[in-house]
Amino acid sequence: MASLDTVLLREITVAALLIFLITRYFIRFPIRKSSRPLPPGPKGFPIIGALPLLGAMPHVTLAKMAKKYGPVMYLKMGTCDMVVASTPDAARAFLKTLDLNFSNRPPNAGATHLAYDAQDMVFADYGPRWKLLRKISNLHMLGGKALYDWSNVRNIELGHMLRAICESSQRNEPVVVPEMLTYAMANMIGQVILSRRVFVTKGTESNEFKDMVVELMTSAGFFNIGDFIPSIAWLDLQGIERGMKKLHNRFDVLLTKMIEEHTASTNEREGKPDFLDIVMANRENSDGERLTITNIKALLLNLFTAGTDTSSSTIEWALAEMLKSPSIMKGAQQEMDQVIGRNRRLEESDIEKLPYLKAICKETFRKHPSTPLNLPRVSTEACVVNGYYIPRGTRLSVNIWAVGRDPDVWKDPLNFDPERFLSDEKYAKMDPRGNDFELIPFGAGRRICAGTRMGIVLVEYILGTLVHSFEWKLPDGDDQDQLNMDETFGLALQKAVPLSALLRPRLAPSAYAS
């Protein structure tokens, strides 16, 4: 009898909560009757709106919806308004014409629980602190001159990676591509920020870091019910926030240790300041904005996670596409053999002489953008787009994945065809740095990814080096036609099955010595 009473009490409680939420919803959000039409979109359900319609692959679902409802689409997401742009023209309207109005981020669990309550550069409000973080990062790590100054670090770390691959080749062991890339990139970034390699050897510690980065990118990409129905956020119905808090604690321990060890070794860097030295010395700007240790931890979290995962996933997708189409791999190797030969490694200065390699990178940015849905923005004021009314406080999502597959822009968009960037004048002029809205893998406008320039350099240099330095084939028994190309949704678009391949050196032995 007692258990029956418990079940009855639980059902009454749930029913009462639903009645409360429905009543609260219609009091706060009465049915709109406005002469200013919202963009078209799916009706969704009471209270939860369109949330259940998105499924496990929201970027794909939203692209399909856009074919029905149009390039500017409205969805009621819980108690929040959301608008989705799915074509180059729609993206341009929001990220260029109305860029300032959409320069802030909406509050969400990822910003709160992962990014130190939006104390970082990615989620911070558009204002003095964000500008200071962005300025320091561009001047001393992510901008053109800084990238040139740190080019030797990339060269040295890539040398470590090549020699490790050669050792695996001698043992006839397959290489797990994302693990290899994360290990190398984390060490590149560690050298720039902390003057040291983050991982001395590839093993349990570096694999755990890779898992932490993937978990962060995945959980931060979830459509969390509590973000869209704040009144029930405390319930954490999907368990997302609990996972974020645990992950945040693990990252905080790692970042705290990095900063403490760095502070203890200050004398060793006399006259050779690294990025963290510069940040600590420039914690205040002319407006009186001062960075706290929390801001600095949050910034390091941005640089280590986004700097490793987005570029490594792009390179992994490019290699997978080339393994499925060996003629593309062969064409890239022939171009590099003609320009570089086989007696030395590729150098960054060679890249401008390698148009086919650059075309492969552009095609990967188009078909497999590292961020399929841009990080959400929110409107500061009401506005009008394409004749449709966009209320104040509306969340904006640009479907970068759909933009890159728009059949009105791209011929045979599902094909991986680097030649399009060489043979078609319209495509040849396109650049992925945010000015050509047909190709915006890093976003555009004021909140374009701060690491755009670095991301392009890393992808071109590392991908080119791997293709030039090794012959690639799938492990014995794996058929290139059966290579799994499924996606896993998150902030970064991961391969569902990590790429594994057998590599064999194709250059003179001396090329791997430096």
Parse the chain into domains and list their residue ranges: 25-512
* Cα separation, 300 vs 120, whole angstroms: 9
Phi and psi torsions of 222, nearest 5°:
-65, 145
Task: Pick the closest to residue 187 from 210, 170, 169, 165 (CA basis).
Answer: 210
Query: In 284-404, which residue ranges form alpha helices assigned H by DSSP?
Result: 293-324, 326-339, 355-367, 400-403
Contact 284, 122 (CB under 8 A): no
Torsion of CA 433, 437, 442, 447, to 10 degrees: 90
* Cα separation, 107 vs 125, whole angstroms: 10
Q: Which two tokens stand for residue 385?
A: 């787009």
Q: How far is CA 304 from CA 182, 309, 325, in A?
A: 10, 8, 32
Q: From the CB of residue 375, how many other CB atoms can be counted at a distance below 10 Å? A: 21
* Cα separation, 224 vs 58, whole angstroms: 12
Domain 25-512, CATH 3.60.15.10 — does that match? no
With tokens 């890093």, the residue in question is: 442
449 annotated to a ligand binding site: yes
Contact 209, 305 (CB under 8 A): no
Q: How far is CA 357 from CA 167, 330, 334, in A?
A: 26, 11, 11
pLDDT digits (tens), the chain, 514 positions: 344 334 333 443 444 455 455 555 555 544 454 568 999 999 999 999 999 999 999 999 999 999 999 999 999 999 999 999 999 999 999 999 999 999 999 999 999 999 999 999 999 999 999 999 999 999 999 999 999 999 999 999 999 999 999 999 999 999 999 999 989 999 999 999 999 888 877 777 777 888 888 889 888 888 999 999 999 999 999 999 999 999 999 999 999 999 999 999 888 888 889 999 999 988 876 667 889 999 999 999 999 988 888 999 999 999 999 999 999 999 999 999 999 999 999 999 999 999 999 999 999 999 999 999 999 999 999 999 999 999 999 999 999 999 999 999 999 999 999 999 999 889 999 999 999 999 999 999 999 999 999 999 999 999 999 999 999 999 976 677 889 999 998 888 899 999 999 999 999 999 998 7
pLDDT at 477: 66
Q: Is 71 exposed, middle or buried (0-12, 13-18, 19+ CB in 10 A)?
A: buried
Parallel, antiparallel, or unpaired for β 175-176 and 395-398? unpaired
pLDDT at 17: 53
Q: What is the pTM of this model?
A: 0.91
Q: How far is CA 230 from CA 82, 119, 447, in A?
A: 15, 21, 25
List of residues 6+ apart from 369 with CB closer than 8 A? 400, 401, 404, 440, 441, 493
Residue 295 identity? N
* Cα separation, 437 vs 403, whole angstroms: 8
